[in-house]
Structure 1
Amino acid sequence: MAKSKQNTTDLAEQRTDWAEDRTVQATERTYAGWQRTAFAAIGIGLGFRALFGEFDPPWLAKGIATIFIILGAAVSWTAQRNACKTLNRLDSHDVDRPAVLQMRWLSYIVTAAAILLAVALWFLRNSSAS
């Protein structure tokens, strides 16, 4: 009888470990999804600026594009913060754990590049103004 109880406990612990592994994988997929959303927002900002470059007043198109680009930067930053916080609480058992440092650096680079892009957008000259 004692052996059966030990076996049941081992199985319960194994199922708990697997659940934690699934959560690690779900966190990685969620992070990737939010990064795609960040790139989409940045792309919408660039597309808006390109499509409505001759918009009158010209600052309005730049302003709307900047909002989307900064939104993309914020999404990237928030995605890494949430994913890293979750992954730091979890242990992986049978799956490879994503590298938290790589997730952070990717988001830092995306965030910095988006902010630089938004700043550069305001220094671009319209071809019709020259």
Structure 2
Amino acid sequence: AKIGFPFAESEFSAEGEQLALSDGEAHEKLLMHLYRRRRSFAQDAGVGQYSLQKLVGCSDEAFDFHIWYLKEKGLISYTEDGTIAITIKGVDHTISMSQVHRQEKLRISGSTTMNGGAEVNTDPPSD
């Protein structure tokens, strides 16, 4: 006998994985946009929902999910005038993710090169 919720096998397929990756990209795009807004207009950092939804190009339902998730994580909040702004936690998260992306790009571009079909490690020797 199976215990738990009756999930279809397809719910855990590559399509579901791609959906989660797509959600992650939308969250990063929203946070980066709100981060730039906060850096440019610290006292007026809010952005309207329509503009944000247009930025990520998603359905109303998907946008509601993105905003719910980011708000529950404490990364965004609603301003007094009803716009959405990044929080200090969101700023810290965005900076941290930017550093991770930069390190990953450096690792990918600098760690190995192709030499006659064989990969050659170009990292300095570790002690």
Question: After TM superposition, is the score higher than 0.5?
Answer: no
Q: Which protein has greater RCO, CA pairs closer than 8 Å, 6+ apart?
A: 1
Q: Provide the TM-score with structure 1 as the length reference.
A: 0.35
Q: Provide the TM-score with structure 2 as the length reference.
A: 0.36
**Structure with the higher fraction of residues in helix conformation:** 1
**Structure with the higher fraction of residues in strand conformation:** 2
